[in-house]
A and B are shown apart, each in its own frame.
Chain A
Amino acid sequence: MMDKNLIIVGGGPAGLAAAKAAYDAGERDILILEREDRAGGILNQCIHNGFGLHTFKEELTGPEYAARYEREVAARGIEIKTGTTVLSIADKTVACVNAEDGLTHYRAKAIVLACGCRERPRGAINIAGCRAAGVFSAGTAQKLINIDGLMPGKEVVILGSGDIGLIMARRMTFQGAKVKAVIELMPYSSGLNRNIVQCLQDFDIPLRFSHTVVAINGKKRVSSVVVAAVDEKLRPIAGTEEEIACDTLLLSVGLLPENEIAKTYGIELSPVTGGAIVDDALMTSKEGVFACGNVLHVHDLVDFVSEESERAGASAAAYIARGGELSDCVAIGAKDGVRYAVPQLVRRGGEGALGFKMRVGKVAKDVKIVLECDGREVASRRRQIVTPGEMETLTLTAAQAQILRGAKEAVIRLAEV
């Protein structure tokens, strides 16, 4: 058993940013645990550009963005153990394993969970058909191409218009594959609009809304998929089936925060985000345990992950320095088109400005995002259009935040303008 002030689980963009910020807030006894053989997380396989516009005011590739944070962490001399998998957390003790140290237990004063998310697999969406080779989640295909230099297939159908799927449509096309269609269950995309333009429209790849894949055919390798239109209840409509010959089906049907360790530890999770329920310091229901990045809720932009994670890192450092005397919370509800807002709780004893991140349930035009406290509008932000694929934010001034901290009830919702 070893002691560490701060253990950060995950060395991707969230963990690196949290470590940097914790250090800058005065904490020196930090250890990052990363399961892959190098830091950077999923950014390492995202070789396209478009990262860093908010953080660095320039367009970087994923590995470039990660490298900047890796340098910041290295310059501060923060220890990182790669190839190290966390097995469990109990009583603020982290059990982990790697080839060099074997099984190790660290007793921590604070823990930051920055373990990212995973892709929803085929099984979770119940597509019937064969179990042949050729069905990949988009991220797995991305790793095969970009890291391992291996080509998953040559005639491709993509189910789901999440960002990774859109990026992979372009990537596969660049490598000479024929992307025959992107099939989206919903009447709108769950990806960023810029990706639809740059990855599909620029390459004449058809995007078919309100369709789904109802069967996968093939013996040893996928030979075709059957696509059908869906009704307003998302059920396939009989008679609309169409077979598309292909050797590969990529799935980009959602990302799920990877919270199994948190669950076993007894951290309270939100059924909407799949991540922990946190206060404005990003502290979970376990005192001294923080969460940030895609393990908290799935982000579209790494820039927002970094920003959020710096807050978690600084909060963890402050918690270690001052200990916890936690005031009561006001809970922030979400309704009228807002699916969730993070943080879900705000400490009444806090001070200063506050920011919320949220997602809407469906596309809406000419609306405002409103924070209501005890029935009164305290803050709002006008939006021409909001879509489920793009995360929305609402920032409160210090004065607005003080009203919230004194409120009995608070809710964030969409309202017409």
Chain B
Amino acid sequence: MQIVIIGAGVIGCAVARELSRYDAKIVVLEKEDDVACGTSKANSGVVHAGFDAKPGSQKAKFNVLGNAMFDSLSAELGFSFRRNGAYVLCFSQEDIPVLEQLAVQGGRNGVKQLEIHTGAKIREREKYVSDQVVAGLWAPTSGIVSPYGMTIAYAENAAANGVEFCFCKQVSSLGYRGAKTVVGCLDGSEYEADLVVNCAGVHGDDVNNMLCADKLQIVARKGEYMLLDKTASQVASATLFQLPTKKGKGILVVPTVGGNVMLGPTAVDVDDKDCTDTTREGLAEAFDKACKTVPSLSAKAVITQFTGLRAHLTTGDFEIGFAPCKGLYNVVGIESPGLTASPAIAVEVASEISRAYSLAKRSDFVAHRDAPPCFAKMTDDERARLIAADPLYGKVVCRCETITEGEIVDAIRRTPGAKDLDGIKRRTRAGMGRCQGGFCTPRIMEILARELGCDITEVTKSGKGSEIVIGRVE
């Protein structure tokens, strides 16, 4: 049994990992040169409590199931996760019934411990929250996670259990050859599969429509974010929502597990599914609306901006299950709360596929993945031991985030490992701090060239075509 998974975002990697519990050959095809290069690298990183989704929807079901899995899953796979709680803030007395309605909806979805707090009580806990806030829905089970950290953890554990990752494989055709489904890639390579699992994110409709007569349509919904310097992280300890709107959960002020605070996202439908440019208008909107929640925000604290694209299926819910054509399983339209839902979705997908194909459980599956060493978070004793074992951990490369050469080398040598500057950044945080790689970029280029055995002029930011330099000085 050969299964080809298209897409190495959090869904593709989670599904790969859960399927690797079973006796099957699993290949993941990814068009970029690394995992977590699309929506999974650019979202709010919120593990939603589950009050927001419509009762009875797939979103509600998998949100609540997924949320409950994070404590044990983060320990098992070694990624950062914290239940920091969330407030949905209400700015006028008239809207309080909407808040109460949200609490009732949460209850119907199975969300526990929801409470409505007064503005004063909220400001006791979150002292930077606006005086205009009159009440808020408190959801203590809400959490935060590094979405790419989680994706990478899933991918590494999948690879350790035999999943093969193939990068720079953009799928361009799907067809049948006998009993097999044939996946054709832009570079001319072909993969035969008994089953194709479509985890292609914003391109999930394209993949489905290549094979299936029942067409799907995904709208890319752009969300722009701003990231604040760590010295500004006191502004929020819980995730701060405003009352939701039709297009989504509105602008958040949200802490990250890395110790920053993010503002965003906006929500604008766009035609170009690959365009992650930020816009002046979008950034201004994100900042201005975040100021409604925390009026004292300073634009001076912003260190970077980014855009993510949500895969919004026109039906409005997740589409998970065997497609109405042979050899295709769809996991598409996984927009928010998709990150939260991903562990539960993956378990469900693997279980359904294994039943359909009578796949046996493997006895040699290893569920645990060792977290990469993180020098900045270690105690002095741990640091001393690490440097004694490998002196490269005594060489600080990224001064803003205190990332050592040892950590960078480890990130490159893992499977699937970092191949470019962005891959290093997502795995180690090197270059993610306040100088945004100003000092460490040339050093990391040297380390990448040395470890990958390539020329330094071939080192890229994010795959072929994004070489950092154009050549040597003549």
Contacts and interface: CB of A to CB of B under 8 A. Distances in A.
Answer yes or no: are A and B bound together in one complex.
yes
Interface of A: 35, 83, 85, 87, 95, 97-103, 118-119, 121-124, 126, 128-133, 136-137, 139-140, 143-145, 147-154, 175-176, 214-215, 217, 219-221, 236, 247, 260, 263
B227 interface: yes
Contacts of A95: 380
A95 B68 CA distance: 40
A146 to B, nearest CB: 9
A100 B395 CA distance: 9
Interface of B: 227, 231, 274, 276-280, 282-283, 299-300, 302-306, 380, 383-384, 387-388, 391-392, 394-396, 399-400, 402, 434-439, 441-442, 445-446, 456-457, 460-474
B387 A176 contact: no
Contacts of A131: 276-277, 306, 462
A175 B461 contact: no
A103 B470 contact: no
A103 B383 contact: yes
B298 to A, nearest CB: 11
Given A137-B438, A140-B442, A150-B472, A123 B456 contact: no
Contacts of B391: 99-100
Given A123-B227, A126-B283, A214-B280, A140 B470 contact: no
B402 to A, nearest CB: 7
B283 A128 contact: yes
Nearest to A217: B277
A133 B462 contact: yes
B271 to A, nearest CB: 16
Nearest to B301: A124
A95 B464 CA distance: 41
A36 to B, nearest CB: 9
A128 B435 contact: no
Contact of B465 (A98, A121, A215, A221): A221
A172 B133 CA distance: 53
Contacts of B472: 149-151
Contacts of A126: 283, 299, 302, 305
A381 B434 CA distance: 39
A128 B279 contact: yes
A126 B305 CA distance: 7
Contacts, number: 148
A302 to B, nearest CB: 19
A118 B464 CA distance: 29
B280 A132 contact: no
Nearest to A121: B436
B180 to A, nearest CB: 34
Contacts of B380: 95, 103
A42 to B, nearest CB: 10
Contacts of A220: 461-466
A129 B445 CA distance: 24
Given A123-B304, A152-B469, A221-B466, A97 B276 contact: no
Contacts of A219: 274, 465
User: Top 10 A-B pairs ranked by shortest CB distance?
Assistant: A123-B304, A220-B465, A121-B436, A85-B396, A99-B391, A99-B394, A133-B461, A220-B466, A133-B466, A102-B387
B217 to A, nearest CB: 24
Given A132-B466, A151-B469, A103 B436 contact: no
Contacts of B473: 145, 149-151, 175
9 contacts: A87-B396, A97-B383, A99-B387, A103-B387, A126-B299, A128-B279, A144-B468, A151-B469, A220-B461
Contact of A150 (B395, B463, B469): B469
Contacts of B471: 150-151
B395 A99 contact: yes
A400 to B, nearest CB: 37
Contacts of B282: 128
A177 to B, nearest CB: 9
Contact of B396 (A97, A215, A221, A263): A97
B205 to A, nearest CB: 22
Contacts of A121: 303-304, 434-438
A218 to B, nearest CB: 9
